[in-house]
Structure 1
């Protein structure tokens, strides 16, 4: 099939983040094509390429379904390997694959093991999925249209969510990958899905249910997806705690366990409003890779696994995808191409990108005692039809937050286990309060008694204008978690909130 597309990239490489991440897509394939058709002319490559479906045999004989995109211009060409988000298929990669093919790359977009047309069992980016990547790289190295030195092709990877995680894992095990662009991926799966021991039960339910049902559209757990997932899910929901075996399983699938061996230039892309793999996961990836001395970049935009992904502007998509293309041109094609600054942060309030040499840049970490905001103690409570929230309001003379706030809290649990949640809110007036980026930091109090916790909240970029207020809330319920009934006392006189102040003062 001959294709001529000069405007392809409204969608991000996650390909179906919105549909997969929130389970709201009604006609995903049509939607992604419409998304491409509505794109402005962000990129101008040769504009012509040919696609054909192929099957690649993996290391264990498993058949992996893929679509090959080959530029019509004379080759050989550098290559990009890309895969999709959890529960999706390569159909959701048309825009991303088209962007690279339109700019002179051979693209192999494949269905991850157990999904779409690929055989095998879904192993949540386990050893088999990592080995699949190496088999696909072998296949590309043997393809006449791909630049290769023996079995080593000129190759990068791009993808989001589940397709972002596999890049970080594969790049630590196969040094033939020249560059990666993991979008809205995780650093530590355990930390992401059970922050401080509090299970994101809403997300867990969606992931297990959607991932199982969409695996070759059968939902036949045990034949198409690791059967342990259903058992662990049932136990987690019954106990409101992740089983130990599941923790070990997901730790193995956490890039942080193996990033010390990474040598691949990495462009990390995340979303401020991502509530599944929040920006703290991306910041951790960026910092760990940067500390290795490996060239890396961090880009945070205004979406992620959240309904707000639907409202991400063309300006943001253009910046991210231009950054991805430049990254590939520099590290895969070998061109002398400028790339984005070390850190690029989307400022939603100002509708513009802000760039820095590091994260969070120059800030003053200001410590605020909770006693001065809420008295000596505060009560939090969650009972049927009766909730109490501890609230602390900081009136603003005009300041900007940039970076990661921290909460040091002394809290006495009267009932246990008890799940608690800390969140920051922007109050413009008594009738208009916004939970910043929809983010909340959960923590579990396992035993009765007094607990001393030092928590990092989610990174943010937010201006609190003069006359507005910043509010910290600590409560014992959240709609996306399984709550435990009970109460606790916050010892405000022993608790502090540390804020990264970039401009202004408290």
Structure 2
């Protein structure tokens, strides 16, 4: 386990006073805006400085403190709008870019020991140089800043509240699911890190190793060993011991940090907590607020800090702590007391052969054998990282595919009969398949679609699965636990399961051509399990 050093107070920092209202809202006049704004360099371990922006109320202190850690690639002004809004509410706000990014020195360690200790250094500086209240401190951030803030709450008991927006709980699970690497997301992370910061040698090596077309078991384990101590879930006992109030806001279609890991993290927190799950992709729901647009997400952050840092407004504590917005469309929020109130009752649909080229999703098990071409893609896909589902957050429309265009030689399709009424899917879909691999290593990708009467499929969920040591020609069980979701299937629509063997999102384990067998028997049937919430199970909603 990593060990973090507590920092002593930093020495005097060089201060550059910037009064530029056109660039920094609220910086022009303490008289009209109620706070002053300045740029500072905070001395940190390793002889580096962290570039920070400080907004301090003009009224006498002590004031509650909000530390905002920038997202991947961001600097001290990335959070200028939330900083202004919090300063308007009476907070001393210090916003900074993590080392290696923005105006900060050093190199990017991906939530390494120095990154976590830097949070304490910034708090030390703030207490020494502003009218800050040491008993009222909150830390928040988007994405990279969210993960750093969560881990820091386990190492600095002065942190009374954390706001994690599009953060991660388990970096290992974020990089790899079912032995399948999230290659395209990793490539975006690596290229943006190289373009906007200075990666440490270790970070550069781990990310380039992760992106190798073929990766050995030893190299794969090295990446896992690097990622594990950078995961908040590994410090859950320390976080619970410090008892910070944790707000986590996550998107259902998160490409980088899937929502299931945050559900598990949230459920295991023992202190004050609140979680919100909304449509969209990574950082989509909070980006509008960063640009100055109205934002329910940032309003929740402000209310959370007011309740658990400033102590000025505790109204958010009177609401049920778990909030969900269902897909598709802009559906109203639902409030539940716990995750058990969100999920529906599992309903199992068995995969049948069907009368045509497609199979059926049916109530009874069936025996059949089929096959698809291995190492070939179809029009079914998981979308473009950070783009496809961000568009959904704006438009309300999930990514679509015309299922009649799926090459039946490269993908298998099973359809359910049309639903007579709307169906509320709540929780994690599961599937069990039996496959016959053509090679020792290989990959399949499963997709669940909401299909309208015209045959257009809206993507509900997807999941890859790889095997590395299979016996070619022998049955291989494949068990899939999809990320949880909240999705309402309209009347006259139906679900479809599509299976192929390739997707641009993933670095697959396919090694060549051949046929991937798909089988089902009465003794070991293949199935799709859908968590369906009945009207009687919706009593907690408001």
CA offsets, 1:82-108, max 9 Å, x none? 111112222221112112111111111
Instruction: Kindly state the Cα deviation for residue 360 of structure 1 after the two structures are TM-superposed.
Output: 5.0
Q: 1:231 to 1:424 in 2, by over 3 A?
A: closer
Map 1:147-186; keep pairs closer than 5 Å.
147-148=133-134, 153-186=135-168
- Asked if 1:238 corresponds to 2:230, the answer is no
Quote the residue 1:187 is aligned against. Answer: 169
Quote the residue 2:262 is aligned against. Answer: 282
Quote the residue 2:203 is aligned against. Answer: 226
Greater shift after overlay, 370-379 or 112-121? 370-379
- Asked if 1:323 corresponds to 2:300, the answer is yes
Identify the match of residue 481 of structure 1 among 495, 501, 506: 506
- Asked if 1:253 corresponds to 2:275, the answer is no
- Asked if 1:424 corresponds to 2:445, the answer is no
CA offsets, 1:142-174, max 9 Å, x none? 2341012xxxx4110111111111011111121
The CA distance in 1 between the partners of 2:63 and 2:289, in whole Å, is: 32
- Asked if 1:60 corresponds to 2:60, the answer is no
Instruction: Kindly state the Cα deviation for residue 311 of structure 1 after the two structures are TM-superposed.
Output: 8.6
Map 1:48-127; keep pairs closer than 5 Å.
48-127=34-113
Structure number with larger C-alpha Rg = 2
Q: 1:173 to 1:377 in 2, by over 3 A?
A: farther
CA offsets, 1:327-350, max 9 Å, x none? 111111123512142111123435
- Asked if 1:269 corresponds to 2:249, the answer is yes
User: TM-score normalized by structure 1?
Assistant: 0.82
Map 1:301-320; keep pairs closer than 5 Å.
301-305=278-282, 318-320=295-297
- Asked if 1:345 corresponds to 2:324, the answer is yes
User: Do the aligned residues in 1 keep the contact of 2:168 with 2:232 (CA within 8 Å)?
Assistant: yes
Instruction: Kindly state the Cα deviation for residue 383 of structure 1 after the two structures are TM-superposed.
Output: 4.3
The CA distance in 2 between the partners of 1:111 and 1:266, in whole Å, is: 22
Quote the residue 2:519 is aligned against. Answer: 491
Map 1:377-388; keep pairs closer than 5 Å.
377-383=369-375, 388=410
The CA distance in 1 between the partners of 2:451 and 2:287, in whole Å, is: 25
Quote the residue 1:21 is aligned against. Answer: none
User: TM-score normalized by structure 2?
Assistant: 0.77
User: Do the aligned residues in 2 keep the contact of 1:78 with 1:105 (CA within 8 Å)?
Assistant: yes
- Asked if 1:369 corresponds to 2:350, the answer is yes
CA offsets, 1:254-308, max 9 Å, x none? 111121221211111001222111222321221221xxx2221110122232879
Quote the residue 2:466 is aligned against. Answer: 444
RMSD: 3.0
The CA distance in 2 between the partners of 1:465 and 1:246, in whole Å, is: 42
Instruction: Kindly state the Cα deviation for residue 369 of structure 1 after the two structures are TM-superposed.
Output: 1.8
The CA distance in 2 between the partners of 1:451 and 1:177, in whole Å, is: 48
Instruction: Kindly state the Cα deviation for residue 432 of structure 1 after the two structures are TM-superposed.
Output: 1.6
Quote the residue 1:204 is aligned against. Answer: 186
CA offsets, 1:422-480, max 9 Å, x none? 221110124321112xx421111112332223321021111112211111222111121
The CA distance in 2 between the partners of 1:258 and 1:308, in whole Å, is: 27
Identify the match of residue 273 of structure 2 among 296, 305, 327: 296
Q: Which runs of 5+ in 2 are unaligned?
A: 1-17, 27-31, 354-359, 378-406, 537-542
Q: Which runs of 5+ in 1 are unaligned?
A: 6-29, 38-45
